[in-house]
Amino acid sequence: MQSKDPDTKPTLTAKEELRVSPNTIRRQALALMPGMEWNPLRTLDRNRPCPCLSERKFKVCCLPTLPVAVTAKQAAEIKIAMSKPDLVFATRENQGKLIGVAKAEIDRIDAERAAQRQEALDDPELKENGGIFRA
């Protein structure tokens, strides 16, 4: 019960104190630690596919293993990674899949660059100047 006097701070009865969860106590303790911030990854939608590419929901796959709080530097790095559309957690299980995706992306970029080089070499204006580009 809270006291009726408006000048006093609200206090909890013994029964209400028992209802305070351990998680609340832990969060209050972590919030007081200097240099720590809440883990931004814990704000991701729980029902989205897990970023580790396991095809399971985030809430049952990687969310339970994430730390509640991280250092300010880690939080800043996480926020940068979260701002990109292709957020992926690298784990031992998906390492081969990620390497395959990265190689495919490199091959795609190489093919684009080769096509651009060939297009530039086929440019008649460039051929007239002996391969030297003049604006």
Q: What is the pLDDT of residues 10-67, one digit of tens each?
A: 555 555 555 555 566 565 555 557 888 888 888 888 898 888 888 899 899 888 888 8
**Residue 114 within a domain:** yes
CA angle 109, 111, 113 (to 5 degrees): 70
The tally of domains found in the chain comes to 2
**Residue 81 within a domain:** yes
**Residue 11 within a domain:** no
- Domain span holding position 83: 34-90
Q: Do 101 and 131 reside in the same domain of the chain?
A: yes
Q: Residue 87 and residue 50: Cα distance in Å, rounded?
A: 10
Predicted pLDDT of residue 110? 94
